[in-house]
Amino acid sequence: MYILITMSLIILMIASITMILGSLLSKKTFFDREKNSPFECGFDPKSSARMSFSLHFFLIAIIFLIFDVEIALLLPIIVILNVSNLLLWTSVSFFFIMILLIGLYHEWNQGALNWIN
């Protein structure tokens, strides 16, 4: 028990010393306005260097990721068909797919899947 506590303290001290040394020796300690501004041939920039970000594209990407995870959750349902009770498997699969379809209908009804607004 004492060995575990001792090892934990040693690891904690090594990690703390490493983080402190890293923050003290890092190169980004002085923030300069000229270094952080975008460079355009030595002149001040005429417009913002940041491009506008489409929030609609971001929402479509999030919806894609959600449905991609749901597909990954659907794949094991096919694998467990042979080893599970058929009635229980059918009811759980139907319930899960209905939740997915209701979510898809809700997104479609809200207009989140339309590209043109």
Total residues found in the chain within this entry: 117
pTM of the model: 0.48
Closest by Cα among 108, 112, 101 to 60? 112
| Helix-helix angle 55-79:86-110, to 10 degrees | 170
| Token output for 114 | 């339309």
Q: Are the beta carbons of 72 and 64 closer than 8 angstroms?
A: no
pLDDT score, position 18: 94
* pLDDT < 70 positions in the chain: 27-51, 117
Closest by Cα among 55, 78, 59 to 67? 59
pLDDT score, position 107: 83
Name the region of 65 (left: φ>0; alpha: ψ -120 to 50; beta: rest). alpha
Q: Are the beta carbons of 49 and 38 closer than 8 angstroms?
A: yes
Task: List the domain boundaries for the chain.
Answer: 55-110
pLDDT score, position 103: 86
pLDDT score, position 36: 64
Backbone angles phi, psi at 111, to 5 degrees: 85, 15
| Token output for 57 | 């594209």
